[in-house]
Amino acid sequence: MSDHARLELTDAAAAASAPTTGPVVDPYAGPVTHSPVRFLYDLNPLAKIFAPLPAMVMLVFVRDVQTPLAFIALTAVVLLIGVRFTRGLVALLIGVPAFGAVIALGFALWTDAGLVDDTAPVVQLGGWTLYGGALEIGLATGLRIAAIVVLAFIAGLSTTGPDLVRATVQQLRVPYRIGYTALAAFRFVPRFRHELEIIRQAHRVRGAHGGRGPFTAVARWAGYIVPLLAGAIRHAERVALAMDARAFGAHPDRTERHLVPFRTRDTVFLVAFWIMSALVFWLFFPWGLS
């Protein structure tokens, strides 16, 4: 017993000196504890991906302002109820429309004034006029992009990497060898980012490819590729050996401790979201045929 007590004590030490180079977003983060109202966490990841998908595709072909606005509102409601109310969520719900507004302004300035010179001028600077029509086109474009992004967050905010892999293996019948290898590959990302940083430092110290301009930049990046790839291949080989040594791929399937079932509630959510999407498109019918 005392042995265990002593070893458990070193847990703190083992964790305390943890490297601080972890990924910013942890793709392996476990399920968050949540109240039962936050229903999105309990849904199958596939339901959360496929529910907004038709709307996201249709939004590409929409040109008005109301439709994307309606979808942003709809998604905001779903997210506010469905996921935990955190500062991140608020930032997202404010940030994405703000981002859309910036895009809106940009597109407004780019729009060919000749197409909209029959609309009311909003700003006039000397000979240059910003027409209301241009502003409207920009706004529609910005909102469209914002709506698509926000819809993607329905799955993004409430799904963990492992659950997504499990769902693709369990429901979409993706071979588990592919799914779990993809999951292991997530680990490569922070490692390579760190490695690339060191390689850049090392090359800078050598005074390699000094100077400015696009061609030197290309030469410089080309010089990073060989050491990065050499390291990557070696690392991948080692990971593969370690996985094989632990019987990965031994059988056609493997034990699943976490079942990610596709339940009635997933179907309900999926169908309800599709109906809502159809309803929005039917109400606003944004293709101007009327």
Partner 1 sequence: MTALQRDAPAARAGGPDKGQPLLRVRDLSVAYEGSVAPTPAGVSFDVSAGEVVLVLGPSGSGKSTLALALNGLIPHDVPAEVTGTVQVGGLDTVGNPVSRLSTHVAMVFQDPDAQLVTGTLLDEVAFGPENLRLPVEEVLARAESALRRVGLWNLRHTNPDRLSGGGRQRLAIACALAMGSPLLVLDEPTANLDPNGIEDFYAALGELAAAGDRAIVLIEHNLDAAVGFVDRVLVLDHDGRLVADGSVDDVLRRGADELHAMGVWLPTSALAALRLRRAGLHLEPLPLTPDELREALDADPATPPDAERAEFSPAVAAHARPPHAVAERAQRDEAPTRRPLVQVRRLTLRRGRATVLHDVDLDIREGDFVAVIGANGAGKTTLVQAIAGVVRPPRGTIRIGDLDVGRADSRTLSARVGFVFQNPEHQFIAHTVFDELAHGLRLRHVPEDDVRARTEALLDRFGLRDKAATHPFRLSGGQKRRLSVGTALAGAALDGGAPLLVLDEPTFGQDRARADEILSLLRDLNAEGTTIVVVTHDMQLVTEYADRTVILRDGRVAAAGDTADLFADAELIRGAGLRRPPLSRAFDGLTSHPGLAGIARLADLPDGTA
The full DSSP string for 240-261 is HHHHHHTTTTSSSS---SS---
Contact between 267 and partner 1 per CB under 8 A: no
Shorter beta-carbon distance to partner 1: residue 10 or 86: 10
- Residue 33 or 35 having the CB closest to partner 1: 33
Alpha-carbon gap, residue 136 to 107, rounded angstroms: 9
Q: Which is nearer to partner 1, 126 or 252 (CB)?
A: 252
Contacts 24+ apart (CB under 8 A), 43-46: 43/158, 43/265, 43/266, 43/269, 44/167, 44/171, 44/260, 44/261, 44/262, 44/263, 44/266, 45/155, 45/159, 45/163, 45/164, 45/167, 45/260, 46/167, 46/168, 46/171, 46/172, 46/262, 46/266
Listed in sequence order, the DSSP H helices in 84-187 are 87-110, 132-156, 161-170, 176-186
User: Mask 216-235, x = binds partner 1 (CB under 8 A)?
Assistant: -------x--xx--xx---x
CB of 175 to partner 1, least distance (A): 14
Q: Considering the rule CB under 8 A, would residue 240 count as an interface residue with partner 1?
A: yes
Considering the complex, what minimum distance in angstroms separates the CB of residue 9 from partner 1? 8
Stretch that binds partner 1, among 37-45, 55-63, 65-73, 241-249 (CB under 8 A): 241-249
Q: What angle do CA 223, 224, 225 make, to 5 degrees?
A: 95
Instruction: Tell me the site size for partner 1, rule CB under 8 A.
Output: 67
Among 86, 201, 216, 267, binds partner 1 (CB under 8 A): 201
Residue 123 phi, psi (nearest 5): -125, 135
The answer to the question of residue 27 lying near partner 1 (CB under 8 A) is yes
For residues 180 to 199, the per-residue mask of contacts with partner 1, x marking binding by CB under 8 A and - elsewhere, is: x--xx--x--xx---x--xx
Mutual angle of helices 188-205 and 214-245, in 10-degree steps: 140
Is the Cβ of residue 194 or residue 265 nearer to partner 1 in the bound state?
Answer: 194
Binding to partner 1 by residue 213, rule CB under 8 A? no
Residues 138, 108 contacting (CB under 8 angstroms): yes
Task: Work out how close the CB of 223 gets to partner 1 at its nearest, in angstroms, rounded to a whole number.
Answer: 5
Q: List contacts with partner 1 (CB under 8 A).
A: 3-4, 7-8, 10-11, 13-19, 22-23, 26-30, 160-162, 180, 183-184, 187, 190-191, 195, 198-199, 201-210, 223, 226-227, 230-231, 235, 238-251, 253-257
